[in-house]
Amino acid sequence: MAKSPSPDAPRVLEETLTRFPGAGMPEEAVQAASKNLGMIPIFLDRVPGQVPIKEVLEQIGTLEYGEEEEEEEEEEEEKGLPALKALLDRQIVSADETVIATVAPSFSASKYNLVEHKPDAPITQKVLVRAASNASSMKLMMEKLKDLITITKEVILATIRDWQGADTIKIIYDRLGSVPITRNVWKKAPIENPEFMTGFLFRLQRDLKPRVVWEDIWQDSHTDAETKATVTMAFLNLVEGQEAIDLLQAYPYDWEQKEDHGFENLIQRLLPNDIPSPETEQVAAIIVERCSNEVIEKFLNTEHQISITDKVMQAAERNKRANKEALL
């Protein structure tokens, strides 16, 4: 029964222990059942030494939801908050930096710690790094700041891993007036969240050239070609004109080694309407030199006015992957 994940399990267990007060609680069962947070207050009353405190706190911290979701997640809150309250009320743990940081991703746990239990608790970098995965938690942290604090790049790096990262960074920016958008942050953000973070960071720091960051990303051997292509698409949305053409030209390509690093897939994803400056001779030459017959045909059949110049024909001659006879 103690191992049951059912929300009714705590009530049933408590009734059973009331009827049979001498019933034993094997440590193995307590350890397993502690995954059901509703059991924690019962275990702390009966066998406090057997409760895996660190694991319980970490589990509370996984209940990541925000202000607007409190009603929908009431059942989860009912399981998590009583466990946290029981640990604090029985002084099994104190609301120190470690405990506050561990549960920081959970808005409801953070709200209890910082509003009800210990309103004067300091908001440290360690706490902010953990809160970075939940925009609602970060908003609460910013509201509770008594003094301005310098946000480290570690906080921002933790933020960009979350799909709400842009919202979280904006919360920090609105409170403090600045955020450390370092070159390393710029490099990581498009990889972690290319569709949302790239444009958002560019609007915050327009003095950094996208091409510089893009080249950093391409030199990262741990990032696969598909991700790099997605990042390239994101950067192409930030630039225009010759800057976009230069980015397309710089895309790595080596058909001698049968390696296009996903270039053709990139072009297919951009077709028919997102190719930068498709009517220009330079872009036509890039595509005609690097792509297969099928993709070249799709490009040439778009509604853009594409001129087949001598330079484009020379590019076709250099194409090592296409069927030259059909192409020319």
Q: What is the pLDDT of residue 66?
A: 55
Q: What is the pLDDT of residue 3?
A: 47
Tokens encoding 319: 């194409």
Q: What is the pLDDT of residue 318?
A: 93
Look at residues 266, 268, 256 and name the one whose alpha carbon lies nearest to residue 231: 266
Q: What is the pLDDT of residue 1?
A: 46
Residues 234, 231: Cα–Cα separation, whole Å? 5
Q: What is the pLDDT of residue 80?
A: 85
Tokens encoding 154: 């570690």
Q: What is the pLDDT of residue 305?
A: 86
Q: What amino acid is encoded at 327 in this protein?
A: L
Q: Which helix (H) or strand (E) holds 98?
A: helix 97-102
Q: What is the pLDDT of residue 4?
A: 46
Residues 311, 138: Cα–Cα separation, whole Å? 55
Q: Which one-letter DSSP state was computed for residue 238?
A: T
| Domain limits, the chain | 188-239, 247-328
**Stated pTM of the model:** 0.76
Residues 204, 159: Cα–Cα separation, whole Å? 15
Whether 73 contacts 44, CB under 8 Å: no
Give Cα 105 to chain centroid, integer Å.
13
What's the full length of the chain, in residues?
328
Torsion of CA 42, 44, 47, 51, to 10 degrees: 110
Q: At what angle do helices 225-236 and 183-192 cross, to 10 degrees?
A: 110
Rg (CA), the chain: 28
Residues 260, 60: Cα–Cα separation, whole Å? 46
Look at residues 237, 252, 223 and name the one whose alpha carbon lies nearest to residue 195: 237
Q: Give mean pLDDT in consecutive 10-residue pieces for the chain, a chain of 328 residues.
A: 56 64 72 84 87 94 64 54 94 96 95 96 95 95 90 92 85 91 84 80 79 87 87 89 94 87 94 94 96 94 88 93 76
Tokens encoding 126: 């360690």
